Amino acid sequence: MLGEGSFGIVFKVVDFANQFYAMKIIQSGDCDEMGQEQLEEVKSEIAITSKLVHPNIIRLLSSEYLEGESIIANLFELAECNLSTIVGNLSEDKAMKIFLDICNGVKYLHSQYFIHRDIKPSNILLVEGNAKLSDFGLVKFLPPSDKFIDNYT
């Protein structure tokens, strides 16, 4: 087991080609506790995450919802760790690289009209030397609006 979230457990898994991944499992008890509204939010998070393709966004590779068993299985690229586990042991150069990676990830999200709303060290994953944003449960879609532009020009 790699970790546990509000809804679900993350495991390290391996495929037949000996490639490692992270699999988040939301089991029937968690799905039952959620209720329909929260289940729809989880499905929305999956839909959003599956559309995000950027070097500084954690990649959702596949997702399966087994309705009969109320299980959701999400397969992600595997991260070595999250930022909270190494934050006190970073060189200035490494800290700057992580900062720039996160800025690039946020810039990409904003270009797609998404606001993350939950950026914190535990949601910044490190994959092969690159920092990647994860956990899109609080993401909001804010499409362009003439009203917004009028208010700030």
Question: Which residues make Cβ contacts (< 8 Å) with residue 122, sequence separation at least 6?
Answer: 82, 83, 84, 135
SS3 111: helix
Instruction: State residue 139 phi and psi, 5-degree precision.
Output: -60, 140
For the record, the structure tokens of 97 come out as 């690289």
DSSP-assigned letters across all residues of 23-69: EEEE-HHHHHHHHHHHHHHHHHHHHHHHH---TTBPPEEEEEEEGGG
Question: Which of the residues 15, 101, 118, 135 is marked catalytic?
Answer: 118
Active site residue 118: yes
Q: What are the catalytic residues? A: 118
